[in-house]
Amino acid sequence: MNQEIVWEFSPVKDEEKMKRLQKELSIPFVIAKLLVNRGVDDYEKAKKFFRPSLKDLHNPFLMEDMDLAVERVLTAVERNEKILVYGDYDVDGTTSVALMYSYLRELTPHIEHYQPDRYTEGYGISFQGVEYAKQYNFSLVIALDCGTKAVDKIAKANEYGIDFIIADHHTPGEKLPEAKAILNPKKTSCSYPFKDLCGCGIGFKLIQAIQEKRKLPFEDILTYLDLVAIAIGADIVPLIKENRVLAYHGLKQIEKTPRIGIKTMLESAKKTRDITVSDLVFKVAPRINAAGRIASAGKAVKLLLSESEEDAKEWTTLINSYNEERKEIDKTITQEALELLSSPEYKNKKSTVVSSDKWHKGVVGIVASRLIETHYKPTIVLVEQDGIATGSARSVKGFDVYKAINQCSHLLERFGGHKYAAGLSLKLENLEAFKVAFEESVKHAISEEQEQQTITIEAELTPEDFKLDSSTSIFPKFYRLLKQMAPFGPQNMRPVFMMRNLLDTGYSRVVGEDHLKFNLKSVTNGMFFNGIGFGLGHKISELSSNQLIDIAFQVDENNYMNLVELQLLVKDFKPAKE
């Protein structure tokens, strides 16, 4: 059931501002439009946008409890206390642990790292983790990318005399845990200027504050920004303001001097130059995630902490094998879930909730995302085991799935997350009631627009714009500036364009499992365009050499065997409108 995608055209926000910016910066009008669409409407804003500066990072002590956190960490170091760095098992948690551990081990040898087992402990701080801290005499635990809702676990730690510092970005519950310090900009009492840092970003703000308190150079911690950039990409946080600065300089760090573990992962993915956020999301993040999904997230931390090429290659080989295994499991479960969704009971639903006692808990989040590609609805995929259903939720554009789940919290054992992704667990005896409650919650909150899969087109380009020997061509300067608009991500997505009246040459073909390799010709000036449409292979029958089409696409480069050429990333195509 591949739903037809609606093409939306972004409105012209302020044409006068666009023309003024075009003149001020001497740029093509289409670039001025893209910038104004993103709130970049004067020279100073453009300067900050194109040259993100580390000077624009906020003072970390503006975050509530930062002074308490820094004081407690430095006291622990001074007193030779044992410190446990604790993080979730996803990419954000894993990179957070690697960042904090590698920084603090320069200050003290009395430090270890710990990540909960996805299958025996579940998400976030666990009672087992607290017991581990007690058993091995840790007096301070720094919890990263988790902990904001761990009221009962922190209460147990307090009984044992173990202090917790929480550095998290997830939405707080009604009651906060009684930790020594809670660093979370989403707390209603926290006035930190930027609310959308990821967990690793908050970890970086903590080491930035410690560095400042120790009166040591800020430049010495820039090497940790490679980890922050990976977390920003993987956790799908808005790529604006402070995140843009951190990601921009993190990518520079990866290009210049990546830590050995990241370098070996990129080499194994055959990507060693011009690294983008997309490369981190699709080549690095799945490998890191695979360790926690198939085995133990601690193995990914070991890779990121590797100090020799030999160790890094050994860990990379192991993690690549986990990733291949994950792909096979993911494919099988997705097929089984799609079969379930063919049942009449799902036909008129506004939401999707599927479960099985045969599925692998480690890939349910990926499967939920896959199901949305074909059944465009807020989706939850659950694994039934030992009387409990545990799984992940993913959402559609604009819909707050966390809020919808929260309205069913009386049926849940635990849950956490944010607008577009969440984790949850419930007793099997409550599963049917939960399905009904979640469907009602979604039905009353979702709008018609949110139910419709859309592509937002920011500008129309013509074949003439790409013709290098034409006086009307905008392409050389346009593409150079387009590349400089990176890093791309939420709230600064890679722009989608439209081009009309193209013909298939007859050489377009399906490649891989379901990708469509385009070979198109313009009827207006005879130019040829190569493109790739990932996941569009099933639409090849809609191409014919006598049917004009319009395409929605992004502009990219294809780097193959060190040969770089322009490539259109085709998102969708339709019969041309007469």
- Structural domains of the chain, with CATH: 6-14+455-575 (2.40.50.460), 56-225 (3.90.1640.30), 343-454 (3.10.310.30)
Task: Give the pLDDT score at 564.
Answer: 66
Instruction: Tell me the average pLDDT across 160-173.
Output: 95
Angle at CA of residue 429, ends 425 and 434, nearest 5°: 60
> What's the CA gap between 407 and 439, in Å, rounded?
11
| pLDDT tens digit sequence for 169-182 | 998 988 999 999 99
DSSP assignment letter at 352: E
Instruction: Tell me the average pLDDT across 296-317.
Output: 95
pTM, entire model: 0.91
Check whether 468 has a pLDDT greater than 80: no
Instruction: Tell me the average pLDDT across 24-31.
Output: 92
Task: Give the pLDDT score at 224.
Answer: 98
Instruction: Tell me the average pLDDT across 42-65.
Output: 96
| pLDDT tens digit sequence for 98-126 | 999 999 999 999 999 999 988 888 888 99
User: What Cα–Cα distance (Å) separates residue 505 from each residue in 54, 530, 543, 544?
Assistant: 49, 11, 10, 8
Q: Compute the radius of gyration of the chain from its Cα atoms.
A: 25
Contact 570, 5 (CB under 8 A): no
Beta bridge partners of 533: 516
Enter the tokens of residue 474. Answer: 């905008």
Task: Give the pLDDT score at 562.
Answer: 65
Task: Give the pLDDT score at 578.
Answer: 63
* Residue 382 pLDDT level (bands cut at 50, 70, 90): very high
Instruction: Tell me the average pLDDT across 55-77.
Output: 98
| pLDDT tens digit sequence for 226-271 | 999 999 999 889 999 999 999 999 999 999 999 999 999 999 998 8
> What's the CA gap between 178 and 165, in Å, rounded?
10
CA atoms within 13 A on the CB side of 575: 6
Contact 351, 379 (CB under 8 A): yes
Check whether 379 has a pLDDT greater than 90: yes
Task: Give the pLDDT score at 513.
Answer: 83
Instruction: Tell me the average pLDDT across 5-31.
Output: 91
Q: Which of 78-82, 152-156, 425-429, 488-492 has the lowest mean pLDDT?
A: 488-492
> What's the CA gap between 260 and 444, in Å, rounded?
50
Q: Which of 63-77, 84-98, 129-143, 524-538 has the lowest mean pLDDT?
A: 524-538
Cβ-in-10-Å burial (0-12, 13-18, 19+) of 128 comes to middle
Check whether 473 has a pLDDT greater than 60: no
| pLDDT tens digit sequence for 497-509 | 999 999 999 999 9
Task: Give the pLDDT score at 11.
Answer: 82
> What's the CA gap between 551 and 574, in Å, rounded?
7
Angle at CA of residue 498, ends 496 and 503, nearest 5°: 130
Q: Which of 67-76, 211-220, 417-426 has the lowest mean pLDDT?
A: 417-426
| pLDDT tens digit sequence for 327-353 | 999 999 999 999 999 999 888 899 999
CA atoms within 13 A on the CB side of 226: 20
Contacts of 154 (CB under 8 A, 6+ apart): 125, 147, 164, 166, 177, 178, 179
> What's the CA gap between 401 and 379, in Å, rounded?
9
Q: What is the 3-state composition of the chain as percent helix, strand, coil, each rounded to the nearest 5?
A: 45, 20, 35
Check whether 558 has a pLDDT greater than 80: no
DSSP assignment letter at 196: -
Single-letter amino acid code for the residue at 548: L
* Residue 469 pLDDT level (bands cut at 50, 70, 90): low
Enter the tokens of residue 424. Answer: 């949850």
Task: Give the pLDDT score at 471.
Answer: 58
The percent of residues above 90 in pLDDT, for the chain, comes to 80
Single-letter amino acid code for the residue at 564: V
> What's the CA gap between 200 and 193, in Å, rounded?
17
Enter the tokens of residue 310. Answer: 């030999």
Task: Give the pLDDT score at 183.
Answer: 98
Task: Give the pLDDT score at 476.
Answer: 73
> What's the CA gap between 181 and 178, in Å, rounded?
8
Q: Would you say how long the chain is, in residues?
A: 578
Enter the tokens of residue 396. Answer: 């559609």
Contact 309, 265 (CB under 8 A): no
User: What Cα–Cα distance (Å) separates residue 466 from each residue in 25, 64, 469, 476, 478?
Assistant: 21, 51, 9, 8, 10
Phi/psi at 413 (nearest 5 deg)?
-85, -40
Helices 199-213, 66-78: crossing angle, 10 deg rounding: 60
Task: Give the pLDDT score at 419.
Answer: 85
Task: Give the pLDDT score at 353.
Answer: 97
Contact 401, 395 (CB under 8 A): yes
* Residue 2 pLDDT level (bands cut at 50, 70, 90): low
> What's the CA gap between 101 and 571, in Å, rounded?
41
The percent of residues above 70 in pLDDT, for the chain, comes to 97
Q: Is the dihedral of CA 345, 346, 350, 353 positive or negative?
A: positive
Check whether 472 has a pLDDT greater than 70: no
CA 245 to mean position of chain CA atoms: 16
Instruction: Tell me the average pLDDT across 374-381.
Output: 95
* Residue 225 pLDDT level (bands cut at 50, 70, 90): very high
